[in-house]
Amino acid sequence: MKKRLQVAVAIIVNNDEQVLIARRHAHQHQGDLWEFPGGKREANETRLEAVQREIHEEVGLQVEQAEPLMQIIHDYPELQVELDVWLVSEFSGEATGKEGQPLVWCPLAELSAREFPAANMQIIERLTNLYLV
Ligand SMILES: Nc1nc2c([nH]c(=O)n2[C@H]2C[C@H](O)[C@@H](COP(=O)(O)OP(=O)(O)OP(=O)(O)O)O2)c(=O)[nH]1
Ligand SMILES: [Mg+2]
């Protein structure tokens, strides 16, 4: 059986319609690709707690309010991921790459020009429809 990871992912959009993206380190799974910040949910936490913790740990922001956007199950050759995607409508703090990862506030219209893991295709489509159509 392939391993399945439950991953909390945050779409953080600022007032200039830019989305926070981070570059995954080369040695990580899906390395060198861009991602929406997030990570694996721990056994003792809710989905919301997971996204709040991951965002604080990785980019130093406080998630004040978030709504579930979509869930994606995607099979990579080596593992399966379940992305639990949240739309963060309110946050505080200044984004910094707490794990040394490059961060970019990327204009929504330019997201599709970046390389993301295959599982992210649907997210980018959804965001394009939500904001740009
Ligand atoms: N964070 C994030 N992970 C993604 C995205 N798309 C995608 O396929 N993934 C995959 C890559 C990884 O297999 C998994 C996330 O794991 P992770 O490496 O971020 O987990 P983590 O933050 O808990 O990291 P670690 O403590 O294990 O180093 O989900 C995305 O947009 N954001
Ligand atoms: Mg992570």
Per residue in 71-106, pLDDT tens?
999 999 999 999 999 999 999 999 999 999 999 999
pLDDT over 80 (residue 69): yes
pLDDT of 30 above 80 = yes
Distance (angstroms) between ligand 1 centre and the Cα of 24 equals 8
Cα–Cα distance for residue pair 63/91, rounded to 1 Å: 5
Question: How much of the chain, in percent, has pLDDT values that exceed 90?
Answer: 96
Q: What per-residue confidence (pLDDT) applies to 4?
A: 96
- Entry pTM: 0.96
To test the ligand 1 pocket, which listed residue (7, 23, 85, 111) has its Cβ within 8 A of the most ligand atoms?
7
pLDDT band at residue 133 using 50, 70 and 90 as cut-offs: confident
Paired with 104 in beta bridges are: 21
What domains does the chain contain, in order, with CATH numbers? Answer: 3-132 (3.90.79.10)
**Among 113, 45, 90, 69, residue whose Cα is nearest residue 104:** 113
Binding-site residue numbers are 24, 29, 35-38, 58, 120
Strands (E), 1-124: 3-12, 18-23, 34-35, 38-40, 62-75, 79-92, 103-107
Q: pLDDT-based confidence at 50, cuts 50/70/90?
A: very high
Amino acid at 115: E
Nearest to 39 by CA among 22, 19, 26: 22
CA nearest neighbour of 8 among 75, 112, 81, 99: 81
- Residues 20 and 12 sit within 8 Å (Cβ to Cβ): yes
Q: Which has the closest alpha carbon to 49: 122, 57, 11?
A: 57
pLDDT attached to residue 132? 80
Report the mean per-residue pLDDT for the chain. Answer: 97
